[in-house]
Amino acid sequence: IWGQQAKAIQGMLDFDYVCRRNSPSVVASTYPFTGDNKQKYYFGQKEILIPAYKSMAKAFATHPEATVMITFASMRSVFETVLEALEFPQIKVIAIIAEGVPENQTRKLLKIAHDRGVTLIGPATVGGIKPGAFKIGNTGGMMDNILASKLYRPGSVAYVSRSGGMSNELNNIISQNTNGVYEGIAIGGDRYPGSTYTDHVIRYQNDDRVKMIVLLGEVGGVEEYKIVDLLKQKKVTKPLVAWCIGTCADHITSEVQFGHAGASANALGETAACKNAALRASGALVPESFDDLGNKIRQTYDDLVRQQIIIPQPEVPPPAVPMDYAWARELGLIRKPASFMTSICDERGEELNYAGVPITKVLESDMG
């Protein structure tokens, strides 16, 4: 992990624990503005120490088994940070959380990463999640959402989206209508994401543990048409449920720029409606609206169950994750009696004094 992100790291460790991992997924963090130290976290009820390094080189040398880096560097420093990480051959995946990364810098990183066989996720992403195994940063939300969406064990459905917020919605929709998520990736909202829909859909197609695929595209760009070509060429044969959000833009007379940098239609073919029509014509399972997406996923899943391509397994409850004291107190779940604390120290064996007054007199006189 690059950066001082204690809350995100603790969230990842809690996810590891609820997935019944034997050891934490996070082995170290690095931050150039502090010295080497160890930081305390929880793994279930057990307190553990995770090393933090000033030098990225020392971090990778000390932990040669680490192949994934998550960088929380800001848009001002993320280019240099990722450039340095790409120098280490052990790295296979880098997740870039920062928004607002200049497009020329992103394209340079894409070229270098492609030449070295490294997968980039982001920029402008919440990351991704592999239920039962690992999650990136704050993906999946709070623990109650993770448990409700059954992300603590793998399902049979893999998805890819641009939006991190909508990926959490997909977790919810898929968990309610199928046996759960196998893997989910939010590629990021910039016009030049580090990895594309195509990269991940092809991975899912080649993974026998994935039985169906969900694609959530959006207005702007033409990446969805590459999926159309894959469907026409029969390179994607698994059931693909797809929907492109942003159809409301067609009903607005002025040009619309949505929240993502790439979410703006600069031509008719970049509109969500045109993409949905093309996906439907190529064989994708496209609902009539986003409200109907869950029903389309449910129908597809039920068909696979009837064909015995998916065989539902008995649900095993996850282990309970202890709640932090501060959070439990904020929710009103616990209470603690008031305590008297003093910093007075006198080890001579005589009665403690406060400003020259015996402590018993202070208490008896109700002075403190």
- Token pair listed for 267: 């031509």
What pLDDT, on the 0 to 100 scale, is given for residue 252?
60
Residues 6+ apart with CB under 8 A from 304: 156, 211, 212, 239, 310
For this structure, is 114 an active site residue? Answer: no
How far apart (Å, rounded) are the C-alpha atoms in residues 239 and 88? 38
- How far, in whole angstroms, is CA 279 from its chain's centroid? 27
Same-domain pairing of 278 and 343 = no
How far apart (Å, rounded) are the C-alpha atoms in residues 110 and 118? 9
Same-domain pairing of 68 and 3 = yes
Same-domain pairing of 351 and 283 = no
Q: Domain of 360?
A: 325-364
Residues 6+ apart with CB under 8 A from 167: 126, 128, 129, 139, 159, 161, 184, 185, 186, 216
Q: Which residues of the chain have pLDDT under 70?
A: 249-268, 340-349, 367-368
Name the strand (E) or helix (H) holding 16.
Answer: helix 6-18
Same-domain pairing of 61 and 91 = yes
What pLDDT, on the 0 to 100 scale, is given for residue 335?
84
- Domain CATH number, residue 274: 3.40.50.261
Same-domain pairing of 194 and 301 = yes
DSSP letter (8 states) at residue 224: H
What pLDDT, on the 0 to 100 scale, is given for residue 251?
54
For residue 93, which of 124, 69, 63 has the smallest C-alpha distance? Answer: 69
What pLDDT, on the 0 to 100 scale, is given for residue 362?
81
147: helix, coil or strand?
A: helix
Of 280, 301, 318, the position where a domain reaches its end is 318
Give the dihedral of Cα atoms 278, 282, 285, 288; nearest 10 deg: 30
Same-domain pairing of 158 and 100 = no
Same-domain pairing of 342 and 311 = no
Q: How many domains does the chain have?
A: 3
Of 123, 156, 181, the position where a domain reaches its end is 123
Is the Cβ–Cβ distance between 196 and 222 less than 8 Å? no
Is the Cβ–Cβ distance between 158 and 204 less than 8 Å? yes
Same-domain pairing of 160 and 275 = yes
Report strand pairing: 357-358 vs 68-71.
unpaired
Q: How far apart are the two ends of the chain, measured CA to CA in Å? A: 47
Of 123, 149, 165, the position where a domain reaches its end is 123
What pLDDT, on the 0 to 100 scale, is given for residue 164?
86
Cis peptide bond N-terminal to 123, omega within 30: yes
Same-domain pairing of 307 and 178 = yes
Same-domain pairing of 306 and 164 = yes
Same-domain pairing of 301 and 171 = yes
Same-domain pairing of 204 and 242 = yes
Report strand pairing: 240-245 vs 212-218.
parallel
- Domain CATH number, residue 115: 3.40.50.720
